[in-house]
Amino acid sequence: MAYKINSEQCDACGTCFDTCPSEAIVKGEPHYSIDKEKCIDCAACESACPKQAIAPEA
C-alpha cells in the first residue's frame, strides 16, 4: 500500500523528500506528492513529516 501526502497539510518543507530511500517523493508547488510506483511502503516519510501530512493510502 502506497502512502499519500495530504495537500492541505503539506507546506513543502522537504523533510520527506530528504528521507525517502526510494526517491518516491516528487517536488511540487505548492506541495509534494508520492509516486505510487516508486513507493516501497517503508513509512520513513510518515515518521519524518513534521506536519503529520503523510499517511497510508486508504
pLDDT for the residue 24: 97
pLDDT for the residue 5: 97
Task: Please give the average per-residue pLDDT across 8-15, as a whole number.
Answer: 94
Exposure string for 33-54, b = 16+ CB within 10 A, e = fewer: ebeeeebeeeebbbeebeeebb
The answer on pLDDT for 1 being more than 90 is no
Contact 22/39 with Cβ under 8 angstroms? yes
Give domain 3-56's CATH architecture.
2-Layer Sandwich (3.30)
Single-letter residue type at 5 = I
Residue-wise pLDDT tens digits, 19-51: 999 999 999 888 999 999 999 999 999 999 999
Grid coordinates in use for 23? 526517491
SS3 53: coil
